[in-house]
Structure 1
Amino acid sequence: MYNLLRQKKSQLIGWAVGLMLLIASQQVNAQLRDALNLPDHDDKKYYLGIGLIYNNARFQVSQHPSFLSNDSVMVVEPENVGGFGLAGIHTLRLSNRFEIRAIFPQLLFAYKNLTYHIKYPDASKNEQAIMTKRVESILLGLPVHVKFRSDRIGNFRVYMFGGGKFEYDLASNSTARKAEDLVKLKKYDFGVEAGIGFNFYFPVFILSPEIKVSNGLSDIHSRDKNLKFSSAIDKLNSRMIVFSLIFEG
């Protein structure tokens, strides 16, 4: 009888402990649910954002075949230069893993330098042996990306993306007439982009720092064989590394 009562007592204690653990686990899950910021955001089909952008841009230079016969310009070197921009973000959710994102309007102020080594500088034009030409662009762009998202871990998520872009240069000087010392650029460019980003969920918004590589595929150089600083160059392709801080809600 004593052993029987002891076994029943042990069973009751086991059931009680199991019930307490079940209740505790439910409370923990509820607390974790309450600790999630914007828990219903992932159910949205469409949402907006704003991006603050820093870009580091340069040219990919291809020398013209006549470069070796040029008796003035010896070397043309591209240099990286920083710029900034703003963007509107439009995101359409396809599934738990995939989204389509269109960035419009995207306005980038981009600067690219070309350093020339001149064999015979023209003193009457204030030329020097080494001269740097800054090419300024105001790019109105439309990048479109496909995003692949990881699982959400608390208030954090990682995503990768890739896609294409189309850009129109509002500051294009391809039609300039007095362009003796200019490097002319075409108005249109298109290219490919890829990058990685991180979602940090806050109580009222999502902060997403991301970095991407943006490469132009078209030749944006409007070559003029009669211009000293243009004739030595055959093709110019844009290269850019872009860091963005995106605020979404």
Structure 2
Amino acid sequence: MIYFNKRCIAGRYLGKAAFLFLLALTGVFRTQAQRIGLNRPDHDDWRYYFGMSISYNSSYLHTSKNPRFYQNDSILVTEPGSKGGIALGLLGTLRISNHLEFRANPQLIIGGSKYITYTLKNPSPGESIIEQKLMPSTIVGFPFHFKFNSDRIHNFRVYLLGGIKYDLDLASNSAARNAEDLVKLKKGDFGVETGIGFNFYLRFVTVSPEIKFSQGLTNIHSRDPSLKYSSVFDKLQSRMIFFTLNLED
């Protein structure tokens, strides 16, 4: 049997679209910046500054099968997927040196439900061959990043970021009553994040489009061997991609 992973192809197209979007946005802002003088030339000397962020995010679950999966007489194939969500956050940045800053970005991630699609070997009466189990998600996230800044070129600058995060899923169902159709997820998740962004210094605000990748390190699967749709997995780990627009003073 050959298993074709559609999610990989979708991921490639999503990455290319994100790159082209950021490239186009960079060109627009740089052209605009060249038409005007230097904005807020003393901004990079500020010890700290604040802002807000709005993001579109897409998340899915990285799965690790249980060794007994291929002996399972109920489930033939599993495929994780996701729906997009919106994240709203606050920004606080502390300047460490000319090229290094520390940033906190607490945020609320609304939507972005995860789901797993199952292909059943021997569906019960009333079941279809394809079953989809949805896991709603409302996350309070606490990312902490180090930002590595390039030199400022007129009203433009590039930065890389990397750091850690802790997420708390308010919609976690790990304490829910056992039911055969549940896949239980734990509340807490620890992970790492990395990304790239662009600072555009406007007259009264700094606008920063950013793309960020997040990888959970924690096994958030609350496994129950007695549950049909849960027992096939050993580990479930979160993966997220954010397309963000930051507005800072």
Structure 1 residue 234, shift from structure 2 partner = 1.0
| C-alpha distance in structure 2 between counterparts of 1:65 and 1:191, whole Å | 25
Structure 1 residue 202, shift from structure 2 partner = 1.0
Residue 205 of structure 1 pairs with residue 205 of structure 2: yes
| C-alpha distance in structure 2 between counterparts of 1:41 and 1:87, whole Å | 22
Match of 2:119 among 105, 117, 120: 117
RMSD of the TM alignment (CA)? 1.4
Aligned residues: 214
What does residue range 1-249 of structure 1 map to in structure 2 within 5 Å? 35-104=37-106, 106-109=107-110, 110-123=112-125, 126-249=126-249
SS of residue paired to 1:230 = coil
SS of residue paired to 1:228 = coil
| C-alpha distance in structure 1 between counterparts of 2:64 and 2:135, whole Å | 16
Alpha-carbon displacement from aligned partner over 1:38-85 (angstroms, at most 9, x marks no partner): 222111111111000111111111011121221111111112431111
Structure 2 runs not aligned, ≥5 long? 1-33
Alpha-carbon displacement from aligned partner over 1:103-136 (angstroms, at most 9, x marks no partner): 12x111222121100111122xx42101121212
| C-alpha distance in structure 2 between counterparts of 1:44 and 1:139, whole Å | 32
Structure 1 runs not aligned, ≥5 long? 1-31
| C-alpha distance in structure 2 between counterparts of 1:179 and 1:161, whole Å | 42
| C-alpha distance in structure 1 between counterparts of 2:114 and 2:139, whole Å | 13
SS of residue paired to 1:142 = strand
SS of residue paired to 1:79 = strand
| C-alpha distance in structure 2 between counterparts of 1:214 and 1:84, whole Å | 15
Bigger drift between 55-64 and 177-186 goes to 177-186
| C-alpha distance in structure 2 between counterparts of 1:85 and 1:213, whole Å | 14
SS of residue paired to 2:230 = helix
Structure 1 residue 178, shift from structure 2 partner = 4.5
Bigger drift between 64-73 and 158-167 goes to 64-73
SS of residue paired to 2:70 = helix
Q: Which amino acid aligns with 2:90?
A: G
Structure 1 residue 179, shift from structure 2 partner = 2.9
Alpha-carbon displacement from aligned partner over 1:187-234 (angstroms, at most 9, x marks no partner): 110011000000111111111000011000010000111111101111
Runs of 4+ in 1 over 3 A off after TM superposition: none
Structure exhibiting the larger radius of gyration computed from Cα positions: 1
Q: Give % identity.
A: 54
The TM-score normalised by the length of structure 1 is 0.83
- Name the structure 1 match of 2:26: none
The TM-score normalised by the length of structure 2 is 0.83
Q: Which amino acid aligns with 1:247?
A: L
Q: Which amino acid aligns with 1:238?
A: S
Q: Which amino acid aligns with 2:57?
A: N
